[in-house]
Amino acid sequence: MKTDTIFYRLFQSFPSIFFELINQPPETANTYQFSSVEVKQLAFRIDGVFLPQNNPSSPIYFVEVQFQPDEKLYSRLFTEIFLYLHKTELTNNWRGVVVYPNRNTDTGETERYTELLTSGRVTCIYLDELDSPASPSIAIETVKLVVEPESSAVTKARELIDRTKQQIDSEIAQREFLELIETIIVYKFPKKSREEIEQMFGFSELKQTKVYQEAKQEGKQEGKLEGKLEAVPLMLNLGATVEQIAESLDLDIELVRLVAAKVNQKEENTQ
């Protein structure tokens, strides 16, 4: 799975996590809408944009998730931002946020962008340096699970699963958090089988997810559903988008995204 896919799901489902990361009140998320934006000229795509809703005094937040060294990261990021600002009618100020696993990954050429990087407009977040207060939030600890060493990831995930069940009252939010934790663990242990994942946590990697269960409840027989899921990788290789696959196979789009994420991770591990 591409790491930016995890963060897209995370920020889309729980936008308050982003504002916790930049030390803003989580409630700020209530006045923003999160999306991924494509700047058609030069075919740039910004990982994520938090747009303020009907508030010209609030800044636009541009988010980039970077887990691989990239010397041109800042060149590309600022090009995307300024093209986006040029092509919209928005008058809001802006801020940039780059999420790195650690400082060693921050290899972008900075000399030409010193003024921007030191202006306070851009925040670099290094996940392995996030503080762990006495009572850390589930949101921040879930983000940190992405860079948790394999030796302690399973224990950490179990702790988060228990905390989620105990502290999150909303059934929908609880299930979404549990699915996110499960997805991160699958990302971290791509070589483990479904049975091994189930033994570690007491749940199946895919079949216990909400979208899979809902698909079965809607009358799709399990054999038929699994047959459709097996067709997803082939359709991805043929160039179909997640949206096109979901529509043509009559599958929930989130279920297709789960399968696509697994395909991406498998390809990365073979490179």
Provide φ and ψ at 126, rounded to 5°.
-110, 110
Statement to judge: residues 106 and 28 lie in one domain: yes
Statement to judge: residues 8 and 124 lie in one domain: yes
How many residues appear in the chain?
A: 271
pLDDT of residue 1: 46
Q: Is position 193 within any domain?
A: no
pLDDT of residue 64: 92
| Whole-number Å distance between alpha carbons of 121 and 97 | 8
What would the mean pLDDT of 24-40 be, rounded to a whole number? 84
| Whole-number Å distance between alpha carbons of 271 and 9 | 25
* Both structure tokens of 7: 């963060």
pLDDT at residue 83 tops 80 = yes
Instruction: Enter the pTM of the model.
Output: 0.69
Q: Structural domain of residue 50, as residue ranges? A: 3-147
| Whole-number Å distance between alpha carbons of 70 and 107 | 6
Statement to judge: residues 216 and 141 lie in one domain: no
- Pick the more confident residue, 217 or 132: 132
pLDDT at residue 139 tops 80 = yes
Statement to judge: residues 140 and 8 lie in one domain: yes
pLDDT of residue 220: 45
pLDDT of residue 119: 94
pLDDT at residue 56 tops 60 = yes
Q: Is position 107 within any domain?
A: yes
pLDDT at residue 223 tops 80 = no
Helix axes 171-188, 3-13, angle to 10 degrees: 170
pLDDT of residue 103: 95
- Pick the more confident residue, 179 or 148: 148
- Pick the more confident residue, 192 or 130: 130
| Whole-number Å distance between alpha carbons of 84 and 80 | 6
pLDDT-wise least confident of 34-43, 153-162, 185-194: 34-43
The proportion of the chain whose per-residue pLDDT surpasses 90, expressed as a percent, equals 31
Statement to judge: residues 40 and 138 lie in one domain: yes
Contacts of 30 (CB under 8 A, 6+ apart): none
Strands 44-52 and 122-126: unpaired
Residue 185: enclosing H or E segment and its boundaries? Answer: helix 171-188
Residue 180: enclosing H or E segment and its boundaries? Answer: helix 171-188
Mean pLDDT of the chain: 80
Statement to judge: residues 119 and 21 lie in one domain: yes
CA-to-CA separations, 89 to 83, 84, 92, 136, 163, in angstroms, rounded:
12, 10, 9, 39, 43
Statement to judge: residues 143 and 218 lie in one domain: no
pLDDT of residue 99: 94
pLDDT at residue 202 tops 60 = no
CA-to-CA separations, 207 to 52, 138, 204, 229, in angstroms, rounded:
37, 24, 6, 12
What confidence category does residue 175 fall into, taking pLDDT thresholds of 50, 70 and 90?
A: confident
Statement to judge: residues 34 and 131 lie in one domain: yes
pLDDT of residue 101: 92
Determine the Cα angle at 5 with ends 178 and 221, to 5°.
60
Tens digit of pLDDT for each residue in 150-169? 889 888 988 898 888 888 88
pLDDT at residue 105 tops 60 = yes
Neighbour-count burial of 11, counting CB atoms closer than 10 A to its CB (0-12 exposed, 13-18 middle, 19+ buried): buried
The widest CA-to-CA distance across the chain, in whole angstroms, is 59
pLDDT of residue 225: 67
Last residue within a domain, chosen from 147, 179, 196: 147
- Structurally, the chain folds into a number of domains equal to 2
